[in-house]
């Protein structure tokens, strides 16, 4: 049976290889299956939980749409829209924030990481961010949510909120409890500078990540400079437990090739890192360069991207506004 897919990406600039391999690549596969109904959201309300420059935000919203399309999502088959265009997201988030418990949110590790040492200075939005994410998903009765591993805890929270709403208001199965779609391998791409840290948009070092807008030379240079250890390439999977950088690079290689980590380890066992890095850079250029070129081309026609968003907002709104009306009735408004 076809799946109802919903997922979101923050328009905070520097979309990178982690976003691509952890999430967007799966969006494309799901979009290509005609049985699925897919909705991909540029989550601009989430973006402002951390201060954004308004002009840059506007550009980043368009760049995220361009990245979706350049990666292979077809806006005729899937709904692509920005979250702030559909009022039901903010309304739904408020109602669900009265269902979610403080204790549940206090457990969220991403808030702790993002807020850092000075929690008092974090925005309230950053704290309640997973509730907005739950509203995003639940408004569309999504059955499956493709994300990278770092979003797993937020999806568990979304399931808890849906179940509590259904129980509290005695509306069995009204909010669809969604299943996460997280790949078994390669669901967490790590920094090129530190195999224990997630590849991230906010890392100050640009060489820690491959941006989806990087050109061929940038990709080759970043892979050349990527951290490794001084041993030859690992001979077996077990060695990877202690060689995080090798594990990450081999993981990226395998994911690009749709191959298993085991096979990639076998292919390069005992060789020099430089030989492997050359092959890895080739694979990356082959995959990322066309996406990067297409993003640049699409960004030349801003009004085309705006039209796609407007069309998406209209379609998303026609689904979400019905659901929020029912939610309001159930709550007693």
Catalytic residue at 114? yes
Q: Which of 201, 227, 279, 328 is catalytic?
A: 201
Is residue 147 a contact residue for ligand TYM (CB under 6 A)? yes
Closer residue to ligand TYM, CB minimum distance, 154 or 222:
154
Binding mask 151-190 toward ligand TYM (x if CB under 6 A, else -) reads x--x--------------------------------xxx-
* Interaction between residue 89 and ligand TYM (CB under 6 A): no
Q: Which of 65, 82, 76 is nearest to 295 (CA)?
A: 65
Is the Cβ–Cβ distance between 286 and 252 less than 8 Å? no
Residues of this chain, 7-46, that bind ligand TYM according to CB under 6 A:
7-10, 18-19, 22-23, 43, 46
245 forms part of the interface with ligand TYM (CB under 6 A): no
Name the closest residue to ligand TYM (Cβ).
Answer: 22
Query: From CA 186, how far away is CA 253, in angstroms rounded?
Result: 10
* DSSP type of residue 144: E
Catalytic residue among 37, 198, 277, 287: 198
**79 interacts with ligand TYM by CB under 6 A:** no
Token look-up 């390069």 returns 268
Produce one character per residue of 71-110: b if its CB has 16 or more CB atoms within 10 Å, e if not.
Answer: bbbebeebbbbbbbbbebbebbbebbbebbeeebbeebee
- Cβ-proximal residues to 51 (8 Å cutoff; 6+ apart), any chain: none
- Asked if 198 is an active-site residue, the reply is yes
Min. distance of Cβ 323 from ligand TYM in angstroms? 15
User: Is the separation of the CB atoms in 42 and 80 below 8 Å?
Assistant: yes
Q: Which residues bind ligand TYM (CB under 6 A)?
A: 6-10, 18-19, 22-23, 43, 46, 133, 136-137, 145, 147-148, 150-151, 154, 187-189, 198-199
């Amino acid at each position: 049976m076809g799946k109802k897919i919903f997922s979101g990406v923050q328009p905070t600039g520097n979309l990178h290889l982690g976003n691509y391999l952890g999430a967007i690549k799966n969006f494309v596969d799901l979009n290509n299956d005609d049985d699925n109904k897919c909705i991909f959201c540029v989550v601009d309300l989430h973006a402002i939980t951390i201060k954004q420059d308004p002009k840059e935000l506007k550009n980043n919203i368009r760049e995220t749409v361009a990245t979706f399309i350049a990666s292979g999502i077809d806006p005729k088959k899937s709904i692509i829209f920005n979250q702030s265009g559909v009022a039901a997201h903010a309304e739904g988030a408020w109602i669900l924030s009265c269902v979610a418990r403080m204790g549940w949110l206090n457990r969220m590790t991403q808030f702790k990481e993002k807020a850092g040492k000075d929690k008092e200075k974090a925005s309230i939005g950053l704290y309640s961010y997973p509730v907005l994410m739950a509203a995003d998903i639940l408004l569309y009765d999504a059955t499956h949510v493709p994300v990278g591993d770092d979003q797993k805890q937020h999806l568990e929270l979304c399931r808890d909120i849906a179940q509590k709403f259904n129980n509290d208001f005695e509306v069995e199965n009204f909010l669809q409890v969604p299943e996460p779609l997280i790949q078994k391998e390669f669901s967490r791409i790590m920094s090129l500078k530190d195999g224990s840290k997630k590849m991230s948009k906010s890392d100050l070092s640009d060489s820690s990540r491959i941006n989806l807008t990087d050109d061929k030379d940038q990709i080759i240079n970043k892979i050349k400079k990527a951290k490794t250890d001084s041993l030859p390439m690992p001979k077996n999977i077990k060695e990877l437990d202690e060689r995080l950088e090798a594990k990450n690079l081999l993981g990226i290689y395998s994911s690009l090739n749709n191959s298993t980590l085991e096979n990639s380890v076998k292919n390069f066992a005992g060789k020099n890192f430089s030989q492997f890095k050359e092959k890895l850079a080739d694979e990356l250029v082959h995959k990322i360069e066309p996406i990067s070129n297409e993003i640049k081309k699409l960004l030349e026609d801003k009004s085309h991207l705006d039209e796609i968003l407007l069309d998406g907002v209209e379609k998303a709104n026609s689904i979400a506004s019905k659901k929020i009306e029912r939610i309001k009735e159930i709550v007693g408004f």
